[in-house]
Structure 1
Amino acid sequence: MTKIRALADADLPAIAEIYAHYVTGTVATFDEKPLTVADWRAKAGAIADAGLPFLVAELDGEVAGYAYVAQYRPKPAYRHTLEDTIYLAPGCTGRGLGRLLLGELVAQARETAARQLVAVIADSGDPASARLHTAFGFEEAGRLRAVGFKHGRWIDTVLFQLDLK
């Protein structure tokens, strides 16, 4: 059974493990070193302190993915723009979990003071994330060419944007 719920502290080791998979084996994130559980605890605390959602997809009692929003950029004028992040555990893709997470994340983001929700998607050649965001009304807003270098190659990012109001 699948359940979307708020993050609990006990989820942080699983979240760190999921993210480490993407850090070490993919170009989905431009981080090159996995975050520790302590790093995740600090990040989750900052998100909670900002009154923003951090969600977990639970599949048969196990953390199968997570999603959160955070301020798009740290400068004050960006305070009404959020950026979403979604990662699924290896082996849990293609089951509709991303759709469930993003649907709830967008609904909760609409309840904040934010006006815009942005997705910054690494163009790895896999269109799944772009398709997912487009299904929720995000529109492609631009491309930044060769802005990341990881695993021996240059990677573009594609920006998607959703008006929340």
Structure 2
Amino acid sequence: MAASTALVRPAGSDDYDAVAAIYAYYVTETVITFDETSPSAADWRRRGEALHAAGMPFLVVEVGGEVAGFGYASQWRPKPAYRHSAENSVYLAPDRTGGGLGSLLVAAVLDGCVAAGVRQVVAVIAEGGDASVALHRRYGFVEAGRLRSVGFKHGRWIDTLLYQLDLGDRTASPA
């Protein structure tokens, strides 16, 4: 599981079954995502193709020929003025956490954001996501706010923390 043997690459058509399976765990077993129904592999394929077409990163991390996690960035909000801001998301298979794979994915997603002209990256982290907070802080994200009781899942209200990274000079100025 060592990160040193991992390969981070763009997600391809053969990866979406694994992506769907990884995400399904977080939908059914955690409050990390506010989805209550797991998207299918076809749903993930459409999302991946749309992100790739928009120049945004949708990546997988592979270990020993198996997809161990995925990460992507999408436009923060749909209105045009937000086009230089993105939200990042990273998910690892539950048996692949703690080995540095999340760090590889965050770094690669941020590189993809720079290439896409993104200036601000936002991470929306559900209350209790301490590992995600620590991971994002390692990359320079700072807490930008808390939204209280905005989600209700598994019988309880959940806050979200907003973390933000200014890519600043790493991104070219918009035309």
Which one of 43, 46, 57 corresponds to residue 47 of structure 2? 43
The equivalent residue for 1:21 is 25
The equivalent residue for 1:61 is 65
Letter in 2 for 1:103: A
Post-superposition shift, 1:133?
A: 0.3
The equivalent residue for 1:52 is 56
The equivalent residue for 1:121 is 125
Q: Distance in 1 between matches of 2:109 and 2:80?
A: 23
* Aligned length in residues: 164
Which one of 51, 65, 75 corresponds to residue 79 of structure 2? 75
Deviations, residues 25-65 of structure 1 (Å, cap 9, x unaligned): 10000000000111111111110111111111101110000
Q: Distance in 1 between matches of 2:112 and 2:18?
A: 23
Q: Distance in 2 between matches of 1:107 and 1:34?
A: 28
Q: Distance in 2 between matches of 1:73 and 1:149?
A: 22
The equivalent residue for 1:2 is 6
Q: Distance in 2 between matches of 1:58 and 1:107?
A: 18
Query: Percent same amino acid among aligned pairs?
Result: 55
Aligned ranges for residues 131-146 of structure 1 at < 5 Å? 131-146=134-149
Which one of 79, 100, 103 corresponds to residue 104 of structure 2? 100
The equivalent residue for 2:167 is 164
Output the TM-score relative to the length of structure 2. Answer: 0.91
Post-superposition shift, 1:107?
A: 1.7
Letter in 2 for 1:17: A
Q: Distance in 1 between matches of 2:15 and 2:143?
A: 32
The equivalent residue for 2:157 is 154
Return 5+ residue gaps in structure 2 as ranges.
Answer: 169-175
Q: Distance in 1 between matches of 2:129 and 2:159?
A: 12
Q: What secondary structure does 2:132 align onto?
A: helix
Structure 1 stretches of 4+ with a deviation exceeding 3 A read: none
Q: Distance in 2 between matches of 1:111 and 1:15?
A: 23
Return 5+ residue gaps in structure 1 as ranges.
Answer: none
**2:13 matched to 1:33?**
no
Post-superposition shift, 1:78?
A: 1.0
Q: Distance in 2 between matches of 1:54 and 1:108?
A: 9
Post-superposition shift, 1:126?
A: 3.8
Q: Distance in 1 between matches of 2:51 and 2:26?
A: 21
What is the root-mean-square deviation in Å for CA atoms of aligned residues?
A: 0.8
Post-superposition shift, 1:119?
A: 0.3
